[in-house]
């Protein structure tokens, strides 16, 4: 059934939740191409596409970045653009990155010093991630036609095995590689002009090395990967549940969260489960391997706060239930990220 | 020597000419990564990157599209985004396209009907080119933060042989696959609001099939490929001459041009050699194979107007000389495309 679609694009259309999914499904995926058996194409709406080349898969992914402000506590649009694309590749199990591309669109009058700062940040993020931007493109729009600068990165990586976001079966454990909500809350705080952000910083980081470590530990028992970006944990777990045909019960008290995030969330009235993370992975693991994978995560510098946060069930298919410790409630699929231009 | 760079980005910084080259060289390519011998990386500033995978090369390319107006005689931004990326791949000799990615950034309030029209146009261009968009991304910016809609496409293709833009040697012939200047002049005419555009239409078209045909005919004697987009023939031939270390003499009377382009160029005072083409290829060919390649081009529906337009020389290295039939003059490297947002 075709859902109601607005005649004009709204901010929610790009916010990573239900509204965006409907737009993508009913506009961008009209007559979308089929791909070969075993390949992952656009209809899968996964973090990227996977196409067989010989004995392996080439994974392709792309994201545009419109984050506001361009520089924020813990990072900037350049670091975000590198990490976002590296992470989308990693979330398909593809950590052998062939190369990234980068498209820059900038407003006339933009300070060259800021461009150089963003460029240096991209270069540093590439070094940290062990990847390269191999080709790029520059466009300029006139003053007033674009708010500053936007970036697009695409990436190509090879893998012997594609990990999807739809592989959960009843009984599987859901792991999270670290604390929840820093990127979204840091942006929200920066935008609200709050001076007392304290140690609230975006978690933006490349996850290739972490994913290599967890795949080395869990092998084929790692059955699903997804990074909870726009729309946060709530959107990402809903997507995994719906695509896998399971229900997921989240163990609320087990969700790792920094006190600064909790405090800012209460102050701003924003649910930290609804905001973007930019350096975290959700990992679906067969029950018998969950502790082994958790251990591997915790031994990794980026996974010290990792936790088992949920379990897949045969009931409540497509739904996410939050066990708060005091009771259970349905966690609704968000319409979208509460803040526009979060990434 | 570091050239003078403006403190703030100007429209010329994105116009495909000398100003853009300086910005890219001195900002984006600072500490750019080296690539393996035989690979093509960012420092080559070619139409894309080529990275060895086993016995073959994976070619990656990206472009953002900011054309204004979004719909123009002969095409629209969607068709442009597909053809532009397919053509950049083809200009590296890579016509076996694995897949394209597409990032859409749209302004709040944009009409869904226009989005659907652009989407349908992309789909049709993909069908014509025999390629697929395999993954995408959608972002929305608030009203006033972006002028309508911009697109980014990236592409990945495989090839056994990479064709560069720097392969010209003295004596080599330069071929052009068809008439000059339609895209740029059609946009200029549309933007000036001229009603009597007549048959002036953008030439935007995918060139994969044409490139396959010319490579089949010319093989290793095809030594250079480049599509004369932003900055037109003048920019593209300068780049080929500079990178190849040759001078190029262009045979002015041999340059194929539609009367409508000539008329509009005179009316608007724009040099048709300086404006973008979006469905044409410049082809460097060893002298003994030039006629064979020309014949193959002319047998192709997209190459009926192909011509031998120039010759590479050992003199005037890096320069382009236009032989008008009445005399010779230096064709200057344009600062950039005369019109912003041409593609």
Q: Which tens digits make up the pLDDT trace of A74-117?
A: 999 999 999 999 999 999 999 999 999 999 999 999 999 999 99
The residue in chain B having the minimum alpha-carbon distance to the alpha carbon of residue A104 is B64
Interface confidence, given as ipTM, is: 0.96
Residue A19 binned pLDDT confidence (cut-offs 50, 70, 90):
confident
Nearest CA in chain A to B122: A28
Average pLDDT over residues A196-218: 92
The reply to whether residue A30 touches residue B120, judged by beta carbons under 8 angstroms, is yes
Please choose, from the candidates A229, A87, A232, A250, the residue with its C-alpha nearest in 3D space to the C-alpha of residue A168.
A250
pLDDT at residue B5, rounded to an integer: 83
Residues of A in contact with B132 (CB under 8 A): 33, 35, 41
| Chain B residue closest in CA terms to A142 | B11
Q: Which residue has the tokens 């047998």?
A: B299
Nearest by CB to residue B98, choosing from A31, A58, A126, is A58
Nearest CA to CA, how far is B323 from chain A (Å)? 32
Residue contact A42–B134, C-beta within 8 A: yes
Of A24, A53, A110, the CB nearest to B8: A110
pLDDT in tens, B109-168: 999 999 999 999 999 999 999 999 999 999 999 999 999 999 999 999 999 999 999 999
Confidence of residue B197 (pLDDT cuts 50, 70, 90): low
- With beta carbons under 8 A apart, name residues in chain B contacting A3: none
Q: How far apart are the first and last CA of chain B?
A: 31
Q: What is the mean pLDDT of chain B?
A: 94
| Closest by CA position to B210, among listed B280, B259, B270, B154 | B280
Please give the Cα distance from A156 to A57 (Å, whole number): 10
- Judge whether residue A264 has pLDDT over 70: yes
Which is the CATH superfamily of the domain at B32-159? PurM-like, N-terminal domain (3.30.1330.10)
Which pLDDT belongs to residue A265? 92
d(CA A200, CA A187): 9
Q: Kindly determine whether residue A33 and residue B133, on different chains, have CB atoms separated by under 8 Å.
A: yes
Mean pLDDT across A280-294:
98
Chain A hits for B338, Cβ within 8 Å: none
Q: Is the pLDDT of residue B321 over 80?
A: yes
Chain A / chain B CB contacts < 8 angstroms: 262
* Residues B62, A6: C-beta atoms closer than 8 Å: no
Q: Which of B180, B181, B185, B146 has its CA nearest to residue B66?
A: B146
**For residues B31-36, average pLDDT:** 86
Tokens 């953008």 found at: B202
- Is the per-residue pLDDT at B20 higher than 90? no
Residue % of chain B over a pLDDT of 90: 82
pLDDT value for A195: 62
Contacts of A42 (CB under 8 A, 6+ apart): A28, A29, A32, A33, A49, B133, B134, B135, B136
Whole-angstrom distance, CA of residue A149 vs CA of residue A68: 10
B5 vs A325: CA distance, rounded Å: 60
**What's the CA gap between B62 and A37, in Å, rounded?**
27
- The kind and range of the H/E element at B282 are strand B282-285
Fold of A173-330: Phosphoribosyl-aminoimidazole Synthetase; Chain A, domain 2 (3.90.650)
Whole-model pTM: value is: 0.96
Which residue, among A289, A281, A284, A273, has the nearest Cα to A245 in the 3D structure? Answer: A284
> In angstroms, rounded to a whole number, what is the distance separating the alpha carbons of residues A228 and B318?
51
CB of A267 closer than 8 Å to CB of A193: no
Nearest CA in chain B to A107: B9
Test A14 with B98 for CB contact under 8 angstroms: no
Nearest residue of chain B to residue A65 (CA atoms): B139
Does the pLDDT of residue B334 top 90, yes or no? no
Cβ of B15 and A111 within 8 Å? Answer: no
Mean pLDDT for B170-182 is: 98
Q: Is residue A331 within a helix (H) or strand (E), and if so which, with residue range? A: strand A328-331
Residue B1 has pLDDT above 70, yes or no: no
Query: Rounded to a whole number, what is the distance in Å from the CA of B342 to chain A's nearest CA?
Result: 10
Query: How many other C-beta atoms are found inside a 10 Å radius of the C-beta of residue B266?
Result: 10
The full set of domain ranges for chain A reads 32-159, 173-330
């Amino acid at each position: 059934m075709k859902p109601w679609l607005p005649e004009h694009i709204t901010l929610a259309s790009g916010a990573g939740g239900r509204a965006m999914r409907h737009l993508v499904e009913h506009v961008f995926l009209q007559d979308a191409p089929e791909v070969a058996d075993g390949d992952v194409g656009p209809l899968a709406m996964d973090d990227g596409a996977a196409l067989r080349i010989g004995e392996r898969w080439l994974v392709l992914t792309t994201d545009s970045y419109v984050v506001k402000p361009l520089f924020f506590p813990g990072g900037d649009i350049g670091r975000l653009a590198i990490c976002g694309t590296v992470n989308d590749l990693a979330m398909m199990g593809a950590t052998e990155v062939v190369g990234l591309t980068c498209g820059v669109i900038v407003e006339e009058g933009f300070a060259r010093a800021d461009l150089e700062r963003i460029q240096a940040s991209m270069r540093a993020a590439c070094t940290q991630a062990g990847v390269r931007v191999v080709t790029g493109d520059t466009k300029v729009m006139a003053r007033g036609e674009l708010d500053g600068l936007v970036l697009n990165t695409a990436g190509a990586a090879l893998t012997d095995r594609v990990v999807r976001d739809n592989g959960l079966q009843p009984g599987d454990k859901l792991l999270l590689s670290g604390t929840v909500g820093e990127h979204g809350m840091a942006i929200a705080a920066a935008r609200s002009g709050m001076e007392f952000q304290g140690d609230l910083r975006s978690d933006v980081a490349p996850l290739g090395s972490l994913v290599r470590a967890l795949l080395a530990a869990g092998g084929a028992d790692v059955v699903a990967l997804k990074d909870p970006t726009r729309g946060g944990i709530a959107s990402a777990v809903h997507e995994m549940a719906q695509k896998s045909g399971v229900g997921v019960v989240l163990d609320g008290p087990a969700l790792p969260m920094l006190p600064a995030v909790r405090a800012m969330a209460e102050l701003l009235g924003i649910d930290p489960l609804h905001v973007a993370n930019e350096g975290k992975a959700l990992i679906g693991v067969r029950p018998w391997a969950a502790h082994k994978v958790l251990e591997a995560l915790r031994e990794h510098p980026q996974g010290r706060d990792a936790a088992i946060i949920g379990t897949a069930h045969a009931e409540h298919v497509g739904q996410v239930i939050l066990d708060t410790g005091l009771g259970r409630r349905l966690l609704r699929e968000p319409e979208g990220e509460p803040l526009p231009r979060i990434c």
